[in-house]
């Protein structure tokens, strides 16, 4: 008890003689340590940040948690220790001075002196491995700012320091790729000199495009007429083999536009006022669909076979097999004037019709046709119910017979239609060529 009383009296006496501030200072500990590394005109930003973290980590382990007064008492020894450690580690620099400013938030200042030769300029030469020219151009667009990565890391750096800074540079380069070109990885070779050179090599990451499936379609001209241009489109899409899937997805609009412009620039496409829509579905098994349609002309070849339709006074059974050519000219965005030429090969009959089609909205069309063989008017229309379903109706004035059909489009070349009139019903198989 006497001992405790003596201690208390000593503290009170110290407070009276030295003041309250001195008593408080005695219990203050270092809460954090920050480092500040400087080297005039020769410390690249990302290298400086790395040095600050390294010095800060060592100093934190050495100082943090100790009383400020204790740190002040060992400043010289701690400064010498930090100086010796980093003088050996930081090849290319001499540690000129280390200063510790003891406080609750301690500051460690390190002054470096670079060796004689420092990097003044950096020239970067980039190679893109395994990519065709069209894809390489897109890759280089994404890499347009990569030179700055090397400038930030190397300019002002002593040439002798290039080895131990490679890890810092690699990390900085990977950060750049993650932000601008995440589908590729990169390696580099550095030739340190006052005028340094860098060889940057870029490689694709997995997964990549392995196979391609090209489809070319048209709703306004026969599909077989596109076969003459398939080789051109195939060459374009084959360029994507070996390209990272995610890269194709990211540049999908540009790749689609490139193929679109290539097709629409063909002389026959320009003559027919063709406009192409391209859709890429990027995956390891890539699918590409192009649809080329004319804004001015309609030329279609179809054929159908009626199953279960018997001959009547209004219909010859030999007409169950029919081939039809549709040739039309758009008079406006909604109106089409057209000619239908029908061939019935079973009895080698033929027929032709003149017609006018008007689009009332995006899903409904109305028609008026004149049948030259039967000398009759035909009123009709069709409604698009869904992407694959269509409802059709026509009325023939000569025999006062109406006909309705519900059509299902199986794919671009084949449809099935259930047809009914007041006399019978049957199934129609329709081919689009």
* Tens-level pLDDT at each residue, the chain (433 residues): 444 444 433 433 333 333 333 433 456 999 999 999 998 777 898 889 989 999 999 999 999 999 999 999 999 999 999 999 998 888 999 999 999 999 999 999 999 999 878 999 999 999 999 999 999 999 999 999 999 999 999 999 999 998 888 888 999 999 999 999 999 999 999 999 999 999 999 999 999 999 999 999 999 999 999 999 999 999 999 999 999 999 999 999 999 999 999 999 999 999 999 999 999 999 999 999 999 999 999 999 999 999 999 999 888 898 999 999 999 999 998 999 999 999 999 888 899 999 999 999 989 999 999 999 888 999 999 999 999 999 999 999 988 999 999 999 999 999 999 999 999 999 999 999 9
In the block, which residue shows the tokens 């320009």? 270
| Domain range 297-432, CATH architecture | Beta Barrel (2.40)
Q: pLDDT digit string (tens) for 86-139?
A: 988 889 999 999 999 999 999 999 999 998 789 999 999 999 999 999 999 999
DSSP state of 29: B
Strand, helix or coil for residue 123: strand
Edge-to-edge strand order for the sheet containing 121-128? 121-128, 195-204, 184-191
DSSP state of 55: H
Residues of the chain with CATH 2.40.160: 297-432
- Token pair listed for 320: 């169950």
- Rounded Cα gap, residues 6 and 204, in angstroms: 77
Helices marked H in 19-44:
20-25
Q: How far is CA 330 from the centre of its chain?
A: 37
């Amino acid at each position: 008890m006497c001992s405790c009383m003596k201690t208390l009296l000593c503290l009170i006496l110290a407070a009276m003689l030295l003041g309250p501030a001195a008593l408080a200072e005695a219990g203050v500990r270092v809460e954090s340590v920050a480092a500040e590394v400087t080297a005039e005109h020769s410390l690249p930003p990302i290298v400086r940040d790395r040095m600050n973290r390294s010095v800060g980590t060592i100093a934190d382990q050495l100082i943090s948690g100790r009383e400020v007064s204790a740190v002040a008492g060992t400043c010289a020894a701690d400064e010498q220790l930090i100086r010796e450690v980093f003088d050996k580690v930081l090849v290319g620099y001499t540690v000129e001075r280390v200063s510790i400013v003891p406080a609750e938030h301690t500051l460690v200042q390190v002054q470096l002196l670079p060796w004689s030769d420092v990097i003044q300029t950096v020239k970067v030469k980039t190679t893109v491995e395994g990519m065709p020219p069209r894809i390489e151009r897109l890759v280089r667009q994404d890499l347009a700012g990569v030179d700055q990565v090397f400038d930030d890391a190397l300019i002002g750096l002593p040439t002798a320091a290039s080895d131990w800074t490679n890890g810092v540079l690699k990390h900085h380069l990977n950060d750049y790729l993650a932000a601008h070109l995440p589908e590729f990885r990169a390696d580099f070779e550095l030739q340190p000199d006052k005028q340094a050179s860098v060889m940057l090599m870029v490689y694709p990451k997995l997964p990549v495009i392995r196979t391609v499936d090209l489809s070319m379609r048209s709703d306004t001209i026969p599909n077989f007429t596109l076969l003459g241009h398939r080789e051109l489109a195939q060459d374009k899409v084959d360029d994507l083999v070996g390209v990272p899937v995610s890269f194709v997805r990211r540049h999908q609009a540009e790749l689609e536009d490139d193929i679109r412009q290539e097709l629409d620039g063909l002389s026959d496409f320009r003559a027919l006022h063709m406009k192409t829509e391209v859709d890429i579905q990027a995956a390891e098994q890539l699918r590409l669909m192009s649809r080329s349609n004319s804004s001015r002309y309609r030329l279609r070849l179809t054929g159908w076979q009626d199953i279960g339709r018997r001959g009547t006074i209004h219909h010859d059974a030999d007409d169950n097999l029919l081939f039809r050519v549709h040739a039309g000219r758009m008079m406006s965005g909604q109106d089409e004037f057209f000619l239908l030429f029908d061939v019935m090969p079973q009895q080698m009959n033929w027929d032709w019709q003149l017609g006018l089609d008007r689009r009332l909205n995006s899903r409904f069309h109305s028609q008026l046709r004149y049948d030259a063989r039967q000398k009759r008017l035909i009123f009709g229309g069709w409604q698009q119910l869904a992407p694959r379903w269509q409802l059709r109706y026509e009325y023939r004035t000569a025999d006062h017979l109406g006909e309705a059909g519900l059509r299902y489009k199986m794919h671009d070349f084949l449809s099935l239609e259930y047809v009914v009139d007041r006399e019978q019903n049957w199934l129609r198989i329709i081919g689009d060529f």
